[in-house]
């Protein structure tokens, strides 16, 4: 999908632009700082608007999520309280408008890595992120109160039905829609088995990779929570393992190392075999989480992106079909990772 000419309206409307300037100035003034005369460097994308302002406190970053994703600002503010040191400390948060102001964190971990396929770094990131999820498992009710979408296993069937009922998605799926329907009993069994594994729900970033991680004070800070959902925590494995295998050429042994590094914080309460089986199921079912992210994106630009949006969702659902069909044919979901 080509995003080049697609823009949110925020920065193109002078009244809103002035409101942003005033809000950033007020946030800085509360800290005894002020804006400098340099014009902001603005980046407008269909899913968010960001602007880098020069200030007496150094560079600061404004972010406004697209309509429907306003909860990201409230979530970021809450995460700073609940898991301090795992996100950037916000300089300001406007929950109602979905605005946040963050300090400059320098280059991302991806930009700092000598080689993007240094899997030892990926292992460390996955372990630190997983520890964060374990902490947040006790905050599910609070997360839902912030309007973070609910994708716990029991909610997945309803989400699937919604996609199948969407004429655009169904049309993009073609015959694959019938396959999804015919494998519904396997899908439901996968959801129940994942729920029954005993790993509690938590927050899923839903787009975890080293380009969304900063290193500050010797620790990893996780950024860009706009696709986050409340779900089985192991859904978070889908994106990093897919990148490792499909883009970086990781073999099965390296893939298992990465998975085990992520699972290690959970081994105090669950057998490794149980965790690996849950991870296999979760990485199959996580296609629904990514599909939801696509279905929520670009609300101001729906007509311009609908066809491409439906194709992206259909591609993700086809991967889900392949995974659950394999699970159903095997009669068990304990083998394989379901992500290839």
- DSSP secondary structure string for all residues of 135-185: HHGGGHHHHHHTT--EE-GGGHHHHHHHHHH-HHHHHHHTTHHHHHHHTHH
Q: Which pLDDT score is estimated for 49?
A: 82
Q: Which pLDDT score is estimated for 183?
A: 87
Domain-located, residue 266 = yes
Burial label for 169, CB within 10 Å (0-12, 13-18, 19+), is buried
Q: What is the mean pLDDT of residues 264-277?
A: 95
Instruction: Tell me, yes or no, whether 64 and 150 share the same domain.
Output: no
Q: Which pLDDT score is estimated for 289?
A: 85
Instruction: Tell me, yes or no, whether 96 and 116 share the same domain.
Output: no
Whether the pLDDT of residue 340 is over 50: the answer is no
Share of the chain above pLDDT 90, in %: 66
Q: What is the mean pLDDT of residues 233-262?
A: 96
Q: Is the dihedral of CA 89, 91, 94, 97 positive or negative?
A: negative
Reported residue count of the chain is: 340
β-partners of residue 50 are 43, 63
In this prediction the pTM is: 0.88
What is the C-alpha separation between 326 and 340, in angstroms, rounded? 12
Name the domain boundary from 50, 72, 103.
Answer: 103
Domain-located, residue 190 = yes
Domain-located, residue 337 = no
pLDDT tier at 333, thresholds 50, 70, 90: very low
Domain-located, residue 298 = yes
Q: Confirm if 128 and 213 have CB atoms less than 8 A apart.
A: no
Domain of residue 159 covers: 109-330
Q: Which pLDDT score is estimated for 117?
A: 95
Q: Confirm if 101 and 90 have CB atoms less than 8 A apart.
A: yes
What is the C-alpha separation between 206 and 227, in angstroms, rounded? 6
Most confident range, picked from 50-59, 61-70, 299-308: 50-59
Domain-located, residue 4 = no
Whether the pLDDT of residue 327 is over 80: the answer is no
Specify the residue for token string 């007020």: 26
Instruction: Tell me, yes or no, whether 79 and 172 share the same domain.
Output: no
- CATH number (domain holding residue 317): 3.90.1200.10
Q: What is the mean pLDDT of residues 201-229?
A: 94
Q: What is the mean pLDDT of residues 63-91?
A: 92
Nearest to 265 by CA among 148, 125, 144: 125
Instruction: Tell me, yes or no, whether 97 and 155 share the same domain.
Output: no
Instruction: Tell me, yes or no, whether 145 and 234 share the same domain.
Output: yes
Q: Which pLDDT score is estimated for 330?
A: 60
Instruction: Tell me, yes or no, whether 191 and 65 share the same domain.
Output: no
Instruction: Tell me, yes or no, whether 78 and 113 share the same domain.
Output: no
Domain-located, residue 335 = no
Greater confidence (61 vs 305) lies with 61
Neighbours of 255 (CB within 10 A): 18
pLDDT tier at 42, thresholds 50, 70, 90: confident
How many domains are there within the chain? Answer: 2
Q: At what angle do helices 302-330 and 272-285 cross, to 10 degrees?
A: 140
Nearest to 169 by CA among 292, 2, 340: 292
Instruction: Tell me, yes or no, whether 264 and 185 share the same domain.
Output: yes
Instruction: Tell me, yes or no, whether 95 and 219 share the same domain.
Output: no
Tell me the average pLDDT of the chain: 89
- CATH number (domain holding residue 93): 3.30.200
Q: What is the mean pLDDT of residues 58-81?
A: 92
Instruction: Tell me, yes or no, whether 222 and 309 share the same domain.
Output: yes
Instruction: Tell me, yes or no, whether 276 and 238 share the same domain.
Output: yes
pLDDT tier at 92, thresholds 50, 70, 90: very high
User: Within a 13 Å sphere around the CA of 314, how many CA atoms are in the beta-carbon half?
Assistant: 21
Q: Is the dihedral of CA 246, 249, 253, 257 positive or negative?
A: negative
User: Within a 13 Å sphere around the CA of 219, how many CA atoms are in the beta-carbon half?
Assistant: 14
pLDDT tier at 259, thresholds 50, 70, 90: very high
Alpha helices (runs of H) in 56-118, residue ranges in sequence order: 71-82, 109-112
Q: Confirm if 264 and 244 have CB atoms less than 8 A apart.
A: no
Greater confidence (45 vs 236) lies with 236
**What are the respective helix, strand and coil percentages of the chain, to the nearest 5?**
55, 15, 30
Name the domain boundary from 70, 103, 136.
Answer: 103
Please report, to the nearest 10 degrees, the dihedral formed by the alpha carbons of residues 251, 252, 255, 259 taken in order. 180
Domain-located, residue 336 = no
Name the domain boundary from 75, 103, 131.
Answer: 103
Q: Please work out, in degrees rounded to the nearest 5, the angle formed at the alpha carbon of residue 92 by the alpha carbons of 89 and 96.
A: 125
Domain-located, residue 176 = yes
Instruction: Tell me, yes or no, whether 181 and 306 share the same domain.
Output: yes
Give residues with Cβ within 8 angstroms of 131, minimum separation 6. Answer: 265
């Amino acid at each position: 999908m080509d995003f080049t000419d697609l823009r949110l309206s925020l920065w193109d409307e002078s009244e809103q632009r002035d409101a942003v300037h005033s809000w950033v100035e007020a946030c800085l003034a509360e800290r005894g700082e002020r804006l400098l005369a340099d014009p902001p460097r603005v980046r407008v994308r269909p899913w968010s608007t960001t602007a880098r302002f020069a200030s007496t406190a150094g560079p600061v970053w404004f972010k406004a999520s697209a309509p429907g994703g306003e909860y990201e600002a409230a979530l970021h503010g809450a995460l700073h309280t609940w898991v301090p040191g795992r996100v950037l400390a916000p300089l300001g948060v406007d929950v109602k408008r979905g605005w946040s102001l963050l300090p400059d964190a320098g280059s991302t971990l991806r930009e700092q890595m000598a080689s993007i396929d240094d899997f030892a770094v990926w292992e460390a990131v996955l372990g630190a992120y997983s520890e964060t999820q374990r902490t947040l498992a006790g905050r599910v009710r609070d997360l839902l109160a912030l309007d973070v979408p609910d994708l716990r296993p029991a909610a997945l069937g309803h989400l699937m039905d919604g996609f199948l009922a969407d004429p655009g998605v169904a049309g993009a799926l073609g015959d694959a829609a019938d396959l999804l329907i015919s494998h519904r009993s396997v899908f439901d069994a996968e959801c129940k088995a994942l729920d029954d594994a005993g790993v509690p729900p938590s927050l899923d970033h839903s787009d975890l990779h080293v380009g969304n991680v900063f290193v500050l004070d010797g620790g990893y800070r996780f950024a860009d929570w706009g696709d986050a959902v409340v779900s089985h925590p192991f859904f978070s494995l889908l994106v990093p393992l897919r990148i490792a295998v499909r883009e970086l050429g990781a073999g099965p042994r390296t893939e298992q190392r990465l998975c085990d590094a992520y699972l290690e914080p959970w081994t105090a309460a669950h057998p490794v075999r149980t965790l690996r089986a849950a991870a296999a199921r979760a990485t199959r079912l996580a296609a629904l989480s990514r599909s939801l992210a696509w279905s929520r994106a670009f609300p101001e630009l729906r007509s311009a992106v609908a066809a491409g949006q439906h194709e992206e969702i259909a591609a993700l659902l086809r991967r889900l079909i392949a995974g659950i069909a394999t699970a159903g044919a095997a009669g068990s979901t304990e083998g394989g990772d379901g992500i290839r």
